[in-house]
Structure 1
Amino acid sequence: MQTIARFAVRRRWWVVGAWVLFIVAMQALLAGLGGATYKDDFKLPHTETETVARLLTSAGLDAQNGASGTMVLHALGGSAVTDHQQQVLPALTALCGNGKGLASVSSPYGLITCTNGKGALSADPAAAGRAASLVSQDKSIGIVDLNWAASQPSISDMTDTIVQLKSLRSSSLQVEFTGAAFNGLKIDDNSGPTVNPEMIGFLAALVILALVFRTVGATVLPLASAIAAMGSGLALIGLLSHAMSVATFANSLALLMILGVGVDYALFIVTRHRRNLLRGMPVEESIVNAINTSGRAVLFAGTTVCIALLGLWALQVSFLYGVSLGTAIGVALTMLASLTLLPALLAALGLKVLPRKQRRAVRAGEFDMSEHHGFWYRWARYIQRFRIPAGIVAAGVLVLLAIPFFSMQLGSSDQGSDPKATTTRKGYDLIAQGFGKGYNSNLTLVINGPGATDQAFLSQVGSTLKTVPNVAPASVQPVPTGKNIALIAFKTTTSPQDVKTTQVVKTLRSTVLPPLYRGTANHVYVYGQTAIFVDFTKVLSAKMPLFFIAVIGLSFLLLLVAFRSLVVPLTAAVMNLLAAGASFGIVVAVFQWGWLAEPLGIGGGGPIFPFIPVMFFAILFGLSMDYQVFLVSRMHEEWLHSQDNKRAITVGQGETGGIITAAAIIMIAVFGGFIIDDNRIVKLLGIGLASAVFLDAFVVRTVLVPSIMHVIGKANWFYPSWLDKVTPRVSIEAADDATVASDEPGSEPNREYAPV
């Protein structure tokens, strides 16, 4: 670490220039490729969903796998939706020629098929019957189904189609857009200026850093480091999207992580550097020492975050590959900027990293060797004195907040959970108003085998399906499509996200359908949005325990090796689990139960996306390591000096409490700012991680961990001699920093350690 730091200091402008060149090159390369191509690619190997997708493709029914969105027409002023045919039908027909990949358009005015860039109205009598079913009983609401040929059309194709159709809006016709294809797209008309979530976090970080450092130079440096990581990291993630599928929310998640951890990492290093300067170290030696101490903690914590994120690959769900790799790239570049660009900028800034009064004192040779017994030192003494009641209260708070976690429902929230002002929610509510909530639940039985088109068999399956609770009998429509495959479309009486709809899928698969095809060459599958997420939940739920054990085990081993202790990593693992459970509880209360959902701009309650727990857990465990390492490394450093457990814990907490809480407030502001993002997943991660960081910094690290360590006593630092011999030595504290010679200029004098 010292070699890297000295190179960055002595070749500062080379380092700065290299970073600028790297950012420009990555951005130029991405621009040359036409920008990023994000897309959500759900592939679930060894599931019923994947089997059906292959069957439909091999049967030439790719259109059944194609993306679909819904335009909802609401005739106003007492008119019927069919009165607007002359206005709407030409616009729908013109869609086939816009080059956006549409395969067909089903509307109240007929079925339009797109062939060779031209739209033609079908003359099939069955299509006319279908058109009539797309009009509500009171004739005021109509549904237009837009079907793309591709399962993952580009975002620009879908948004351009919406822009083309928005022109149909008038004082007599309300037009809204809903359905799976339009989920998460920014398609609402916004009046007034919009504020980016990252800008809120950036401004909040700027204000907090200014209050902490009280000088422009020190305030700007952490943000400069984060901006460098953002400029290069987001470009690399964009390039990654050309090589593999990267989910649409990956860019927002990477921004959230880079800005949050980037400011945190730089804050730790700059704080250590400023303390060194005030104690008389020359600028270069101070920077090298800061990188060699706090920089090690940054490297340790950042590496843990990256490993935890890349551990998501072990789940073997391709949807998470691009997200985890992209975010890990962003965190890795943030770490690299903190260890190379930041020391170069610190060297260029010199003593200007300190406020003027402190600069004058340092130049005059007035160094500060004292221990400052401020608020956090007094708080540490308070926790030492009342360690048992304080620990009980902190643990009680975490357990209470974790209660909702045990009722977590995994699945896909439908657009009935979107904010009321969005077009997707308006369209969803109009469909529920005109056709019932269950109309939004599009499910299909896919029959495969030699008897798939046998009318007697189809009739038997259809009749049985109508008797299943919560299935709408009138919606059951057999559709013979080929020699060995047939479809039966149906809807439920409940919404797609309702637990009863999920139960319909499970009941059909486990109880109702098997007796119908058992002993025959046929097979009946259940397909559709709810069925896909049932499979998604099943795949991830089966692997979650192993993933959690792996992440916890990894953090335990890393802390064990770093601090040469059995108790410290065990305590950290238990505390992190408690904090994770509490933050999961907050997520369930807000996003599933709907508490404060509307005021927070979330909409309504709904299931938690199946991949959220593993993604959230990986990020949370990595972030928790930041504060655990920073806190305990200072305690460990003091333990090596004094061999006094009480003093080590009190001094460690007293010296790091302020910087940990300041870093946490910045990260909370960054994460919390993402509540204004349009994507529900990003909102969930923002609120969830903000609450997790708050609990981690203000409950776990400032109350629970020191309380428990005081109770345990010297056993905190117990490490069997036989284990010490077989484990590698990887110290977070630099070896030459543990003891400082009293005769070195600017060094701390030898101290007598009195009990604290």
Structure 2
Amino acid sequence: MAKLLYRIGKGCVRRPLAVILVWIAILGGTAALGTIWKGPVSNDMSIPGTKAQEALDLLKEEFPQATGGTIRLVFASENGALDAADRRQAILSALEEIRKDRAVLNVADPFATGTLSPDKSIGYADVMYNVPAMEVSEDSKERILDAIESTRAAGVQTELGGDVAMSELEIMGVSEILGIVFAFVVLIITFKSILAAGLPIATAIVGVGIGMMSVYYSANFFSITNTGTILAVMLGIAVGIDYALFIISRHRQQMAEGLDAAESVARANATAGSAVIFAGLTVIIALAGLSIVNIPFLTVMGLAGALTVLIAVAVAVTLLPSVLGLAGSRLAPKAPKQGRGMSKDKKPFAYKWGRFVSRYPVPVAVVIIALLLVVALPARHMELGLPDNGAKPADSTERKGYDLLSKGFGPGFNGPLVVVVKGGGTGNVLQDAAAEAENIKQLPNVAVVSPPIPNQKGDLVLLSVIPLTGPNDKATKRLVHDIRGLGDKLMVTGTTAINIDISERLNDAFPIFGAAIVVLAFILLTLVFRSLLVPIKAILGFGLSIIATLGAVVYIFQDGHLADLFDVSSSGVILCFLPILLTGVLFGLAMDYEVFLVSRMREEFTHKGQAKNAVVDGMGLSGRVVTAAGLIMIFVFGSFIFADDPMIKVMGFSLTAGVLIDAFLVRMTLVPAIMALLGRSAWYLPKRLGRILPNVDIEGESIREELEKPASRAAV
């Protein structure tokens, strides 16, 4: 691999403008595809084969009028009842205006249907469309927004709910841009050069642009979710900057040692570029591995992220060398002033830290492991689910509507269960449904069971069951299972039941995915480091990172501690697919740091044969870069913590916490401590296994040997 990347680097330096123009053409082409032919981005997280999904599919077939998109208008009055003449007229006029929309199938009259709270201070009206929620047009949404302005002007508080998204998720907003700005500051401090600091940002933006436009275009053929696009942006920016950082750092280090700029680019591409290829490959395989769990939206999300990472790798080993070739010697670090060379006392902090950890490996390892286990404790009571409107920001119309409905009708009203009753042996489906409704009423936690609604064929009946508790409450989950336990004639669906089934399916899939990740990590790291103990140590460290990160997430987002600090609007459940997603993403990133850090230790050990010194020297040579890379990812991921969407917020926090824990506590502290304890045995590999394993040569040893041959011949 090193030889191939060396030749690619040489070619990019010889023809930099041609390579740059090719990438500009690719960016322009994908931008055209992603803007002109952009596909629909949805919030659909259904899983075929679950009980709730099977019931929903039957519902769509037998009750098509009940499966269109719905916008719920929630009305409230602080002074008097909603049926006062002026308020009643304002509400009815707004609903009449909404009825003029040809896409509207039905608009309920809250005064005729009785959808008012007992004191008549809160009510709601459902607007049903003749198309699915994700296909409701912007014109229809604008008509709703215009109509509710009239009710608000009349003194009626009007909020929105339902399954139609009234606003698109913002990508690359102010917080994300600030994340990139902070990353730029870290690069300036690391390189002490604005030019060198700007290159990783520029190349990362090119990669993210191509990746995102490709994802938008592919939404015409696959169901792409909002969280999938955000994940692609997060990873594209973070790894794009980091991969360029590693290559540029190696390039500048070589130029500081006196190597010609053009030759240095090729060698940096061969050595650091090999590590980038491997690191990117681990992220790609981990993300693509999400398809193992056989959950469509998670598979597409992983593939979207993997595509963006693949493009980031390609940019790093082709476009970046071309730009470095054009920059020439201008990127060379300034020579230290006379009398200020690198003495022992002037060694970088990473070198001193490595020396400290190696000197006291046992206390350091004990403290770090104990700290991580303490942080992980809250993960023992983790509850999984999908955030609903109750998790939206407190000032959002969805959250206000959710709170009003809970106040007026009870918390369970925001999570109704839809029950489909199949015809029984009596031949009278309505009689069967009435009997089943009575059985359901006897179950704990049931507030209301609606009158039965038969289909046109007369063989199915629809019931709506309102629980006493909210959608993500444990008691609501038990009620779903209790209703299903009444017999095979009852099928439960609806948003709440679907979310419960998704969470349970993901729980079942997590051990399979986790096992696959462990096996993958062991194989890849054994190939790279030609060692058995290094992969085992890396896997155990990764396990500590995962459980500690999940513990921190549960502590804040489920238990509610420090909620104000992180602007968490509502605590209760953890995003159901977060453990699997976090495992896949963090595995790739953890292996990045493992490769960049430990590969330098192995390189030093190979050259000098002193295991403990190799740990210290490896930390000194790569610690600064790994620190910068970790900080960049923390700033990029951390910027998404300020998103309004609760799913994006928890994803941003978990990735930020994961990188913080893995990069600084595990890789930069625990890893050198364990490596110092293992000594030479860390690099043990049975001879028979060593002959079987291919030599991937990410340190570029083959390049050095090839370049040293002409020099040795000339000396002879």
TM range, normalised to the smaller chain? Answer: over 0.9
Q: Which residue is equivalent to 2:261?
A: 283
Residue 377 of structure 1 aligns with an amino acid whose one-letter code is: Y
Q: Which residue is equivalent to 2:93?
A: 90
Which one is further off, 474-483 or 47-56?
474-483
TM-fit CA distance, 1:654: 1.9
Q: Which residue is equivalent to 2:676?
A: 710
TM-fit CA distance, 1:57: 2.9
Change (3 A) 1:563 1:315: same
**Greater share of helix:** 2
1:172 aligned to 2:150? no
CA deviations 1:190-246 (Å, max 9, x no partner) are: xxxx95332021111111111211212101100011010121111000011011100
Q: Distance in 1 between matches of 2:137 and 2:320?
A: 38
1:465 aligned to 2:443? no
SS at 1:181 equivalent = coil
Q: Which residue is equivalent to 1:497?
A: 472
Change (3 A) 1:326 1:502: same
CA contact (8 A) 1:198 1:670 kept: yes
CA deviations 1:99-129 (Å, max 9, x no partner) are: 5x433222414xxxxxxxxxxxxxxxxxx3x
Residue 8 of structure 2 aligns with an amino acid whose one-letter code is: I
1:652 aligned to 2:654? no
1:50 aligned to 2:25? no
CA deviations 1:364-386 (Å, max 9, x no partner) are: xx998999622111111110111
CA contact (8 A) 2:412 2:470 kept: yes
Q: Distance in 1 between matches of 2:243 and 2:223?
A: 30
CA deviations 1:49-91 (Å, max 9, x no partner) are: 23212322332x1233333332211124335255423323233
Which one is further off, 561-570 or 598-607?
598-607
SS at 1:491 equivalent = strand
TM-fit CA distance, 1:156: 5.0
CA contact (8 A) 2:429 2:460 kept: no
SS at 1:419 equivalent = coil
% of aligned pairs identical? 33
Q: Distance in 1 between matches of 2:623 and 2:637?
A: 21
Q: Where in structure 1 are there 5+ consecutive unaligned residues?
A: 110-127, 188-193, 518-522, 746-756
TM-fit CA distance, 1:171: 5.9
Q: CA RMSD in A?
A: 2.5
Q: 1:688 aligns with which of 634, 654, 672?
A: 654
Residue 698 of structure 1 aligns with an amino acid whose one-letter code is: F
Q: 2:125 aligns with which of 118, 126, 144?
A: 144
Which one is further off, 71-80 or 227-236?
71-80
Change (3 A) 1:284 1:399: same
Q: 1:5 aligns with which of 6, 9, 12?
A: 9
1:25 aligned to 2:29? yes
Q: 2:212 aligns with which of 230, 234, 240?
A: 234
Residue 696 of structure 1 aligns with an amino acid whose one-letter code is: D
Spell out the pairing of 1:176-575 with structure 2 (5 A cutoff): 176-182=159-165, 185=168, 195-355=173-333, 357-358=334-335, 373-449=347-423, 453-472=428-447, 474-482=448-456, 483-510=458-485, 513-514=486-487, 523-575=489-541
TM-fit CA distance, 1:450: 5.1
TM-fit CA distance, 1:727: 1.9
CA contact (8 A) 1:40 1:319 kept: no
User: TM-score when scaled to structure 1?
Assistant: 0.88
SS at 2:461 equivalent = strand
CA deviations 1:439-480 (Å, max 9, x no partner) are: 1121121112355853432222111111111111x4443222
Change (3 A) 1:345 1:314: same
Q: Distance in 2 between matches of 1:159 and 1:218?
A: 47
Change (3 A) 1:184 1:579: farther
Q: Distance in 1 between matches of 2:622 and 2:21?
A: 34
Q: Distance in 1 between matches of 2:459 and 2:45?
A: 26
TM-fit CA distance, 1:539: 1.9
Change (3 A) 1:306 1:739: same
CA deviations 1:677-731 (Å, max 9, x no partner) are: 1221111111000011011111001111111111122111000111112222212
Change (3 A) 1:371 1:264: farther
TM-fit CA distance, 1:494: 0.5
1:640 aligned to 2:606? yes
Residue 167 of structure 1 aligns with an amino acid whose one-letter code is: E
CA contact (8 A) 2:423 2:429 kept: no
Change (3 A) 1:740 1:706: farther
Residue 208 of structure 1 aligns with an amino acid whose one-letter code is: V
Q: Which residue is equivalent to 1:71?
A: 73
User: TM-score when scaled to structure 2?
Assistant: 0.93
Which one is further off, 411-420 or 226-235?
411-420
CA contact (8 A) 1:305 1:619 kept: yes
Q: Which residue is equivalent to 1:37?
A: 40
CA contact (8 A) 1:453 1:480 kept: no
CA contact (8 A) 1:566 1:717 kept: yes
CA contact (8 A) 1:278 1:367 kept: no
Q: Which residue is equivalent to 1:584?
A: 550
Q: Distance in 1 between matches of 2:141 and 2:299?
A: 26
Change (3 A) 1:228 1:58: same
Report the number of matched residues.
700
CA contact (8 A) 2:161 2:398 kept: yes
Q: 2:628 aligns with which of 629, 654, 662?
A: 662
Q: Distance in 2 between matches of 1:55 and 1:525?
A: 10
CA contact (8 A) 2:141 2:166 kept: no
SS at 1:421 equivalent = coil
Change (3 A) 1:444 1:79: closer
Q: Which residue is equivalent to 1:15?
A: 19
Residue 18 of structure 2 aligns with an amino acid whose one-letter code is: W
Q: Which residue is equivalent to 1:163?
A: 145
Residue 88 of structure 1 aligns with an amino acid whose one-letter code is: I
CA contact (8 A) 1:304 1:625 kept: yes
CA contact (8 A) 2:391 2:646 kept: no
Q: Distance in 1 between matches of 2:10 and 2:503?
A: 50
CA contact (8 A) 1:246 1:321 kept: no
Q: Distance in 1 between matches of 2:531 and 2:308?
A: 31
SS at 2:420 equivalent = strand
Q: Distance in 2 between matches of 1:155 and 1:603?
A: 28
Q: 2:571 aligns with which of 590, 605, 608?
A: 605
TM-fit CA distance, 1:432: 1.3
SS at 1:177 equivalent = strand
SS at 1:167 equivalent = helix
SS at 2:358 equivalent = helix
Residue 108 of structure 2 aligns with an amino acid whose one-letter code is: S
Q: Distance in 2 between matches of 1:216 and 1:597?
A: 37
TM-fit CA distance, 1:43: 3.5
Q: Which residue is equivalent to 2:714?
A: none
Residue 51 of structure 1 aligns with an amino acid whose one-letter code is: E
